Amino acid sequence: MLPETETNSDTIPDSAHLDETADPFLGAEASTDLGEPCAEPLTDGRSKLTRRIGWKDVLTYGVLPALALLLALGAGFLKWQDSSVRDDGQAQIESGQVAKTSTVALLSYQPNTADKDLGAARELLTGDFKNSYTSLTNDVVIPAAKQQQISAVATVPAVASVSADQNHAVALVFVNQTVVVGGGTPTDTASSVKVTMDKVDGRWLISEFDPI
């Protein structure tokens, strides 16, 4: 039997004591190895977080405001374009109707009321054409209508818009006119006219009247 030996803790080298922070399975040296890698991922993690914040700042203060501005400009343009299209469409309808009714008024008169009929028609005109029409009707048409008992009735079976915006429009007008001289046989004629109109003080007025 071996003799019992006393174990004196004072004689155990310091290196034999377990490090309280050491891994009990891997020892003190392993604990140091585990501790060092932890710091590097943490550092990398912070670096990555910093980079993410940087991109977020760029998006927040750079790209996103610019994108919002582009979207606002695009929406404004589309709204303006849509409004412009609607306005032009409305101008087409209005000017086409004016071209029809005004053409009928310009080419229709009765012997006894020619001056009144054609005088009212002059108020549908503007510019040089108004002056030319006034001279023609006063000097030729009205005297002939009274002297020779001429009547004319115009109808417009169709109107085609050529172009139209808010202040200027052109329409192609198809005209049928029946003329009677005295007690003679009615004469029917068919023609087409390019009618140019300008908006003056909120009214569509004919500025040109060109037979085609």
Coil, strand or helix at 190: strand
DSSP assignment of 20-88 equals TTSBTTTHHHHHHHHHHHHHHHHHHHHHHHHHHHHHHHHIIIIIHHHHHHHHHHHHHHHHHHHHHHHHH
pTM (2 decimals)? 0.61
DSSP code of residue 8:
-
As a whole number of angstroms, the distance between CA 126 and CA 180 comes to 29
Q: Can you tell me whether residue 132 is helix, strand or coil?
A: helix
Sign, CA torsion 50/52/55/56:
negative
Return the H-helix or E-strand segment holding 194: strand 187-200
pLDDT at res. 18: 44
| Rounded percentage of the chain residues whose pLDDT exceeds 70 | 58
List pLDDT tens digits, range 98-149.
Answer: 999 999 999 999 999 999 999 999 999 999 999 999 999 999 999 999 999 9
CA 152 from chain centre, in angstroms, equals: 45
Q: For 189-212, what is the mean pLDDT?
A: 96
At 86 the pLDDT is 62
What percent of the chain stands above pLDDT 90?
56
Instruction: Kindly tell me if the per-residue pLDDT of 191 is higher than 70.
Output: yes
- pLDDT, tens only, 60-112: 566 556 666 666 665 555 554 555 556 668 999 999 999 999 999 999 999 99
Q: Say if CB 95 and CB 164 are below 8 A apart.
A: yes
